[in-house]
Amino acid sequence: MAARSFLELFDAEYAPKLGLRSETFRRAFELLEATGKTRYSIVETGCARAEGNWQGDGQSTLLFDRFVSCRGGSVRSVDIDAEACARLRTRVGPKVEVTCGDSVAYLRDLAREGSVDIDLLYLDSHDLDWSNPHPAALHHLHELCAVMPLLASGTLVMVDDTARSQARVAHRGAELIVHDFGVSGKGAYVAEYFARIGCAPAIEGYQYGWVIP
Find the CATH number of the domain harbouring 60: 3.40.50.150
Asked if residue 197 is part of any domain, the answer here is yes
Mean pLDDT of all residues in 2-21: 90
**For the whole model, what pTM was predicted?**
0.91
* Residue 1 binned pLDDT confidence (cut-offs 50, 70, 90): very low
Q: Please say if the pLDDT value at position 14 is more than 60.
A: yes
Contacts of residue 40, defined as CB under 8 A and 6 or more positions apart, other chains included, come to 32, 67, 68, 71, 72, 73, 74, 119, 120
The per-residue pLDDT for 3 is 66
Q: What is the distance between the terminal CA atoms of the chain, rounded to a whole angstrom?
A: 30
Contacts of residue 136, defined as CB under 8 A and 6 or more positions apart, other chains included, come to 126, 127, 128, 129, 161, 185, 186
pLDDT in tens, 44-61: 999 988 888 888 888 999
- Contact status, residue 128 vs residue 185, Cβ threshold 8 Å: yes
Chain centre to alpha carbon of residue 28: 9
Asked if residue 1 is part of any domain, the answer here is no
Q: Which residue range(s) make up the domain with 139?
A: 7-211
The per-residue pLDDT for 178 is 62
The total of structural domains in the chain comes to 1
Distance, in Å, from the CA atom of 28 to the CA atom of 98, rounded to the nearest integer, reads 21
Asked if residue 2 is part of any domain, the answer here is no
Distance, in Å, from the CA atom of 186 to the CA atom of 162, rounded to the nearest integer, reads 5
pLDDT cut 90: percent of the chain above it: 79
